[in-house]
Amino acid sequence: MAYWLLRSEPDVYGWDHLIQDGATEWNGVRNYTARNFLKEMQPGDQAIFYHSNIQKAAVGIMEITRAWQPDGEDGKWASVEVKPVRKLAKPVPLPDIKAEPRLANLEMIRQSRLSVTPVRPEEWAVLLEMSEG
């Protein structure tokens, strides 16, 4: 199983929208690096749902339920299907993520403009730990 972080603006599509919908197509990603990450995802992988712009915090865990398929008329982009697993016990805000030395190499920090990034297993564990305490 691989771990990911997917970012969305909560006023456009947030955690509450995903809960209401029960599942969604994670589409509309228009960056080649992020697209390539989407193409690596497999059913059963898990992802942090991160609210960008407004809240700037990790808020929930999703599961990838379908591998990538073409997104858009030209077929050069990708989307995956996701479903909610659970809300984090407490949001993990961006300043806390940046302040945690064990997350210094987190791709979300290193490539801050990407909406889709991988998360290493040890970073995943730290993010979950931070959400609990």
- Residues 63-117 have pLDDT tens digits of 999 999 999 888 899 999 999 999 999 999 999 999 999 999 999 999 888 999 9
Q: Please give the share of the chain, as a percent, with pLDDT higher than 90.
A: 92
pLDDT at 133: 81
3-state secondary structure of 8: strand
State the Cα–Cα distance between residues 51 and 9, nearest whole angstrom: 5
pTM of the model: 0.95
Contact residues for 117 (Cβ-Cβ < 8 A; gap 6+): 4, 5, 34, 37, 106, 107, 108, 111
pLDDT at 112: 86
Interval 8-28 mean pLDDT: 97
Please state whether 8 falls in left (phi above 0), alpha (psi between -120 and 50) or beta.
Answer: beta
